[in-house]
Structure 1
Amino acid sequence: MLRAPSCRSGRLLALVIACTAAAPAASLAQAGEVNVYTYREAKLVAPLFEAFTKETGIKVNTISASAGLEQRIATEGANSPADVLLTVDIGRLKEAVDLGIAQPLKSDVLDKAVPAQYRDPGGLWYAVSARARVIYAARQRVTESEITYEELADPKWKGRICIRSGQNIYNNALFAAYVAHHGDQKAEAWLAGLKANLAQKPSGGDREVARDIAAGKCDIGLGNTYYWALMNEREPDKKPWAEATKVILPTFQGHGTHMNISGVVLAKHAPNKTNAVTLIEWLVGEKAQKIYADINFEYPIRASIPPHPTIAAYGELTADPLPVATIAANKKKAATLVDKVGFDN
């Protein structure tokens, strides 16, 4: 964990933030180091950074948080020790750009490895892994093997759907993709129809969606691909929730399955820029992409790396070709429509 020299490790995170914000960037610009601000859970990124350090000799210092890292970097300004921002959603990448904390990165390595739909046209951010927003369905009660996102508003699902908050970053991205495909009016009508089909007030997270399906409170719900795999493979107390459900890869009519990304930004004032670029390029290399697939249960960005067998068992993925940048451009509209229809009420 990255710390400013005068901060005591036992203090609250807020104090740590204040101390590191006050530290001059030069004091943290040490040879052989790179400073990463990340939204990823420590246990998920640790294998990546350990492998990177072993291969390159560059030490990775991390600060993890569940929110506010973009604003923190902006507040730190030119004194920010941040070299890289690693996010779990396209919305936070867009916010980083909007706040002016990213600098363009020109890299043939990245452009070759990352498909155009998963990177910023100006090089301000790149995806390092992908995840699909899929349907968890009751294994014993749902016979369907194919469902479109549009069908979620069909009255046949009335009282049968569980979902986390409509303003959650993952749902917001899906709803933004719906706006991009169908326009504001149709998206509003669809959200109203989806709300009418809910079995209960939106709450919890994706794991809780599976829990409630297993408990018979609903029959289907939305979740990210990797949560189901984690429950099934790594979380014994939640494995019964996975066993009671199955994963269906939904699609937009005439398109494909909605994809979101984990991505990186090169910080505007990166004190260790060379090391930062080395790390970012390493994250799309074969070794890192295999770690993303085998440990994090995510879809690799690099086409040559197959997904984990558990993820592959969901079925053949036809990814929606909609550029992630287009999804980001519609997130504000989606959030407004969620409130307009009273989705979370």
Structure 2
Amino acid sequence: MKWYASLATACVFLAACGAPSGDSGESEAAAESVAEPTGLLNVYSARHYDSDKELYKRFEDETGIRIRFRESGAAELLEAMKAEGDNSPADVIISSDAGTLYRFKDAGLMQPVESELLATRIPEHFRDPDNHWYGLAKRLRVIVYDPARVEPEQVDEYADLASANLEGDVCMRSSTNIYNLSLMGELIDRLGKDTAEAWARSVVANFARPPQGGDTGQIEAIAAGQCSVALVNHYYWVRMTQGSDAQRKSVEKTMLSFPQQDSWGAHVNVTGAGVAAHAPHKEAAIQFIEWLAGEEGQFLLTTETKEIPLVAGAEMPEGLDRLPPDFKESVFPLNKLGENQAEAQAIYDRAGWN
């Protein structure tokens, strides 16, 4: 993992950016001014998007607070922070999925934050009940299918993926993937452990191939005729509609179904952020998360990812008009996705969902 920083920030860590080495107070003051004019913020992010670089730059330009960011997988960042202990330089943690945010909180790597602005803008069920993290953008885990082989009514519930009518037609990614773990975390609560496990066993019986690849790979597999249905986060499908010629040709062979429209609604999750437990720049960290909940932050956070802005009235990214305008989404306490995570993995393991 590497740190990335603007030139001004880098100067802080490279000893005054070549300032004169004399002993005069004037020289020392000048060096201090060049090194850190107004503030510093260290961001640990599990996201990897070019638009995030622009996001950091905009925040720097508007506030004068220089951002250093460290990007890696959520598991790698978590282990790095554990190793750093009380001396961790992390101020802000950004990660996708409430399940991964739970892992940081459960490891004692986040601290509660009281913010009237965030409490007003972020709906209660999209934030940690103890205010350790706040959701900032949302995604839905939906069913993608081949309309030439499957009728819409065959895939309007998650339960349909376990139907004998889809034997040999289902593609999936690994059970260890956090998106699948979080979905199971909700199903455990909605259906009960026994019914959720029976569902998982029946889905495994319908596999067209062993679990593999990411969400984009599931869509491509359907387009290639390897299977007929799969689970994906909505934004992978939307991004493919604006991708390469090959991606557009693949995605146009498929459609999305938003399950549970007659019951609790489609499974929803978040990208969120929290303040690190030992943040050396706590106030700047809170300011940054609040900025992400503002108009500009919401747009930059979602414009490339094609997630859905979480703050009411925020501008929608291009391409989201391909989704139904009035779908029903689940209102479910997202902290339970993390609390049920171990049981979710155990269920998948017993079901043979590798």
Equivalence for 1:278: 287
1:98 aligns with 2:106: yes
Secondary structure of the residue aligned to 2:100 is: helix
Q: Could you tell me how far apart the structure 2 residues matched to 1:247 and 1:228 are?
A: 8
> Residues 234-245 of structure 1: matches in 2 within 5 Å?
234-245=243-254
Note if contact 1:139-1:245 (Cα within 8 Å) is conserved in structure 2: yes
Which segment is superposed worse, 87-96 or 145-154?
145-154
Equivalence for 1:185: 194
Cα offset, 1:144, TM superposition: 1.0
Equivalence for 2:329: 319
Cα offset, 1:149, TM superposition: 0.8
Cα offset, 1:54, TM superposition: 2.4
Q: Could you tell me how far apart the structure 1 residues matched to 2:296 and 2:322 are?
A: 22
Cα offset, 1:241, TM superposition: 1.8
> Residues 328-339 of structure 1: matches in 2 within 5 Å?
328-339=338-349
Q: Could you tell me how far apart the structure 2 residues matched to 1:126 and 1:206 are?
A: 25
1:248 aligns with 2:257: yes
**Number of matched pairs:** 323
Equivalence for 2:42: 35
Secondary structure of the residue aligned to 1:51 is: helix
> Which of 112, 115, 122 is matched with 1:114 structurally?
122
> Residues 205-216 of structure 1: matches in 2 within 5 Å?
205-216=214-225
Note if contact 2:39-2:65 (Cα within 8 Å) is conserved in structure 1: yes
Equivalence for 1:263: 272
Secondary structure of the residue aligned to 1:238 is: helix
Q: Could you tell me how far apart the structure 1 residues matched to 2:46 and 2:160 are?
A: 32
> Which of 75, 87, 95 is matched with 1:79 structurally?
87
1:147 aligns with 2:156: yes
Q: Could you tell me how far apart the structure 2 residues matched to 1:257 and 1:30 are?
A: 47
Letter in 2 for 1:324: L
Cα separation, partners in 2 of 1:311 and 1:343, compared to 1, 3 Å: same
Secondary structure of the residue aligned to 1:134 is: strand
Secondary structure of the residue aligned to 1:128 is: strand
Letter in 1 for 2:206: N
Q: Could you tell me how far apart the structure 2 residues matched to 1:252 and 1:328 are?
A: 24
Cα separation, partners in 2 of 1:343 and 1:30, compared to 1, 3 Å: farther
> Which of 76, 82, 97 is matched with 1:68 structurally?
76
Note if contact 2:299-2:314 (Cα within 8 Å) is conserved in structure 1: yes
Equivalence for 2:27: none
> Residues 127-166 of structure 1: matches in 2 within 5 Å?
127-144=135-152, 147-166=156-175
Where does the alignment leave 5 or more consecutive residues of structure 1 unmatched?
7-27
Cα separation, partners in 2 of 1:284 and 1:73, compared to 1, 3 Å: same
Cα offset, 1:156, TM superposition: 0.9
Letter in 2 for 1:243: E
**Which string of whole-angstrom CA distances, capped at 9 and with x for unpartnered residues, describes residues 49-81 of structure 1?**
222222222222111112321221122112111
Letter in 2 for 1:138: D
Note if contact 1:90-1:261 (Cα within 8 Å) is conserved in structure 2: yes
> Residues 3-14 of structure 1: matches in 2 within 5 Å?
5=13
Note if contact 1:126-1:263 (Cα within 8 Å) is conserved in structure 2: yes
Structure 2 length normalisation: TM-score? 0.86
Equivalence for 2:21: none
1:196 aligns with 2:205: yes
> Which of 326, 346, 350 is matched with 1:340 structurally?
350
| Rg (Cα) greater in structure | 2
**Which string of whole-angstrom CA distances, capped at 9 and with x for unpartnered residues, describes residues 269-325 of structure 1?**
111111111100001111111233433211111022253352232212211011111
Equivalence for 1:2: 3
Cα offset, 1:141, TM superposition: 2.5
Percent same amino acid among aligned pairs?
33
Secondary structure of the residue aligned to 1:233 is: coil
Note if contact 1:150-1:252 (Cα within 8 Å) is conserved in structure 2: no
Note if contact 2:261-2:327 (Cα within 8 Å) is conserved in structure 1: no
Q: Could you tell me how far apart the structure 1 residues matched to 2:51 and 2:231 are?
A: 22
Where does the alignment leave 5 or more consecutive residues of structure 2 unmatched?
5-9, 15-34
